Structure 1
Amino acid sequence: MDITLVQGDITQQAVDAVVNAANSSLLGGGGVDGAIHRRGGPAILEECRRLRASRYGKGLPTGQAVATTAGLLPARWVIHTVGPVYSPTEDRSALLASCYRESLRVADSLGAATVAFPAISTGLYGWPMDDDARVAVETVRESGSGVAEVRFVLFDAAAYAAFSAATM
């Protein structure tokens, strides 16, 4: 598996699957989640509503992942995963690792060869970027996934630097 880093907008990545740092409602939100729903159009929200009406009536649990169409995005699928809220007093890194691992498991089940990840839980959920990068890179490397390329798409230079240091 190749791991590549890109500083930019995840909604513009031409990949098989884009990972969405979703909230448990699956109905859109801020940050990456809001950007994916806005750019991808109503088809993503329609599928998310169907998932809520069937399998995920109480929402998608933290650390799990599920796929929908990518709508108008230049990808085939969106893999939604719910990251944990950072806590300085409780180690939730296993839940964070689960987001990356479960997203790759879903990607494998779809036959995706290329997957673009954001830095999960680093925005509103407050996860420190350096630690997120460490967990993300270690988990992806150890996943055993058949995905050919994992692309970490980082919004700014600080995030890119943290992931660059973690890949060394």
Structure 2
Amino acid sequence: MDRLAQANRNRQAIEELLAVDDVLTDAMLSRVGLDGTRFPGLTLSVQPMRKSSWTVDVTFRAASDSRLRDALISSLSHAAGTAAMRWQLAASAEQWTIDRGGRFHRPDAVMKDGEELVAMEYDAGYDRRTIRRKVRQFEPYSGLVWATPSAIRSARMKADYPHVEVITVDYWSAQT
């Protein structure tokens, strides 16, 4: 395959992913053999877990410069964390709908599983009250998947809410 054809396939694959996930990271793309350098990028030092001393440099990719330029760091991290959920759950584009406007009343994404709708929530440091409120708010869904960037936080969440599926996701490292 010639280089131009490969570059076009790479671009098309990333466009398709961004159409579903909105924001990705170079680390995520490298895990699946894709190079995002032809897309708008923004490298930031982020704290995957809020109120943590641990920081990591992450390059975010989006379809447009404005999506990166106009966003808060926490918004980009949250979007990438939500995308990492979809990837880890191997949910197809047809199954997945993101919702950036929900904040407290709606989940970050909804996954269609057959006829059922499953709420998806990415948590990088909610307080206990917010967690309780969100878990209650999402009870009408047939299920809830809760993702965190910390195995310790995930274990605590599983202990507190055994009926919730809890996963640990990583959007910042090239290898998981």
Task: Answer with 1 or 2: which has the greater Rg.
Answer: 2
- TM superposition score category, shorter chain reference: 0.3 to 0.5
Using structure 2 for the length normalisation, give the TM-score: 0.36
Highest relative contact order (Cα 8 Å, sep 6+), 1 or 2? Answer: 1
